[in-house]
Amino acid sequence: MAKYKKKRARQLQHDKFRDTTMTYVDRVTDKLEGKGRQVLYGIGAAIVIGLIIWAVTGWRSSRNDKASEALGHAIKIADAPIVATPVPGSNEPSFRTEKERAQKAVEEFQKVANNYGGSIGEYARYFAANNQLTLDRTKGLADLNSLTTSSVPEVATLSKFALAQAKEADGKYDEAATLYNDLVKLNSPIITPDTANLRLAMVDEKLGKKQEAADILFKMVEASRQAKDKNGKPVPQSAAAREATTELEKLDPARYAQLTPPPLPENLAM
């Protein structure tokens, strides 16, 4: 009975951490809608990977439990609302400005990194670097660049993507294109080739390389429309492929018209 209670307590801790992080994913996604999905794009993916790590290692020791709980707390700080006047008596964190929130978030993520290290510490460093961009962009960029060689492959990939997006946002399109190209070659399930190729095409367009951009988008969409699963059924398009379709239609309507027609929904194909 005692073993059951201890196991159940850990399950509840797991659920609390999961709920905190997945709520953050949802809110970040909402914030990015209609904004080019540039700022903090990789954070949702990082949290998903963090949850996987939690599922595998989170119950092995009380230290890992505490590390995950600390990371969840830091994420909650990073997602706290910006309000001009804090609600009296509220136990939920809130901040008056983005910079105030970012400062506190950086402090909390750094505590996690310093106190626990390991995989969770690397994720904490990644989150800290993203928030550091709001406070000191030069330092944030340097921190992300350092993390592109992280011993945790997922963190290295996410950091390279965040760095590429920051370079793109700063108008350093050649540097961004190089990083996106690297990500395409990595063929990572975290930042997929479709996601990296979409951003690469957008950068090429900004560089005036409209033909190159159209080529990338066309290949993406065409491949997605012809993809089949092991049973020979069409594979649903990724979000990146759907966005590439829209971008290609705007960029090069003639090339868009050459695409293979999308597969019919299963209920109409019969």
Q: What is the pLDDT of residues 43-59, one digit of tens each?
A: 444 444 444 444 444 43
Q: How far apart are CA 246 and CA 243, in angstroms?
A: 5
The tokens for 188 are: 């990572």
Give the chain's mean pLDDT. 80
pLDDT (mean) for 105-122: 92
Of the candidates 62, 65, 80, 60, which has an alpha carbon nearest to the alpha carbon of residue 20? 80
Q: Coil, strand, or helix at residue 35?
A: coil
| pLDDT (0 to 100) of residue 52 | 43
Q: Enumerate the domain spans of the chain.
A: 1-29+38-83+93-182, 192-263
| pLDDT (0 to 100) of residue 248 | 97
| pLDDT (0 to 100) of residue 65 | 74
Checking if the pLDDT of 60 tops 60, the result is no
Checking if the pLDDT of 269 tops 80, the result is no
Q: How far apart are CA 270 and CA 135, in angstroms?
A: 57
Q: Per-residue confidence at 73, pLDDT binned at 50, 70, 90?
A: confident
What percent of the chain is modeled with pLDDT above 90? Answer: 52
Per-residue DSSP letters for 73-124?
A: HHHHHHTPPB-SSPPTT--S--BSSHHHHHHHHHHHHHHHHHHH-HHHHHHH
Q: What is the pLDDT of residues 167-216, one digit of tens each?
A: 999 999 999 999 999 999 999 988 899 999 999 999 999 999 999 999 99
Phi/psi zone of residue 237: left (φ > 0), alpha (ψ -120 to 50 degrees), beta? Answer: beta
| pLDDT (0 to 100) of residue 22 | 43
CA 34 to chain centre: 16
Q: What is the pLDDT of residues 232-248, one digit of tens each?
A: 899 998 889 999 999 99
| pLDDT (0 to 100) of residue 124 | 92
Checking if the pLDDT of 155 tops 70, the result is yes
* Single-letter amino acid code for the residue at 148: T
Q: What is the pLDDT of residues 5-43, one digit of tens each?
A: 444 444 444 444 444 444 444 444 344 333 334 344 344
Q: Coil, strand, or helix at residue 154?
A: helix
| pLDDT (0 to 100) of residue 5 | 44
pLDDT (mean) for 90-104: 89
The tokens for 85 are: 């006047």
Q: Higher-confidence residue: 165 or 91?
A: 165
| pLDDT (0 to 100) of residue 84 | 82
The tokens for 8 are: 């159940």
pTM for this predicted structure: 0.77
The tokens for 212 are: 């190159």
What is the SS3 string spanning 51-68?
A: HHHHHHHCCCCHHHHHHH
Checking if the pLDDT of 118 tops 90, the result is no
| pLDDT (0 to 100) of residue 68 | 81
